[in-house]
Amino acid sequence: MSTFSSDAGVGTSASAARAPSRPGTGRAELVTDRGRTTIADAVVQKIAGIATREVAGVYDLGTGGTRAIGAVRERITSSRGPNVAQGVSVEVGETQAAVDVDIVCDYGVSIAELAAAVRRNVTEAIERMTGLEVAEVNIAVDDIHLDDDDTDTGTKSSGPRVQ
């Protein structure tokens, strides 16, 4: 597990001494005199993925390649539902987290408003559930979903162009 700190940079040891969260911030203290709480990257990834999918206008998560691999994995393993961490990468430290999300949005939505809503929902979910401070949420819009798409990759139907 790596440590993220906006002033110290990436790569410091997870066992490095950290001051506990400031009193009165509304965040649970993850490092106290009675012990330390560690939260795995995969936990934060799942929270961020679920929070992203909750936002109206988000069609799917991940780049074209990860969505294709995910579809194959689901068919082979007969898994239930999508991999909620697909398209999400995180860096988790003792007190902070940074999140990167790749999304496919529905055609017609305001991408700027969608990004703001995703950023807000992801930040609120992670901070509420883990007590970690979210340092940043970076969003990459990988594709736009059209209602008449045959696949999730953004290719248009090959039906007749005129009637």
- The β-bridge partners of 35 are 32
Query: Is a pLDDT exceeding 60 seen at residue 27?
Result: no
Tell me if 101 is assigned to some domain.
Answer: yes
The number of distinct structural domains making up the chain is 1
Q: Whose CA is closest to 55, among 133, 115, 127?
A: 115
Query: Is a pLDDT exceeding 80 seen at residue 137?
Result: yes
CA–CA distance, 143 with 75 (Å, rounded to integer) = 23
pLDDT, mean over the chain = 77
Tell me if 22 is assigned to some domain.
Answer: no
Average pLDDT over residues 74-99: 81
Tell me if 17 is assigned to some domain.
Answer: no
Q: What is the pLDDT of residue 78?
A: 59
Query: Is a pLDDT exceeding 80 seen at residue 22?
Result: no
Q: What is the pLDDT of residue 101?
A: 97
% of the chain at pLDDT higher than 90: 51
How far is C-alpha 126 from the geometric centre of its chain's CA atoms? Answer: 10
User: Could you tell me the CATH number of the domain that includes residue 81?
Assistant: 3.30.70.1350
Average pLDDT over residues 97-124: 98
* Range of the structural domain that residue 137 is part of: 38-145
Question: The whole model's pTM is what?
Answer: 0.68
Tell me if 157 is assigned to some domain.
Answer: no
- Give yes or no for a contact between 135 and 97, defined as CB atoms under 8 angstroms apart: yes
Q: What is the pLDDT of residue 146?
A: 94
Tell me if 78 is assigned to some domain.
Answer: yes
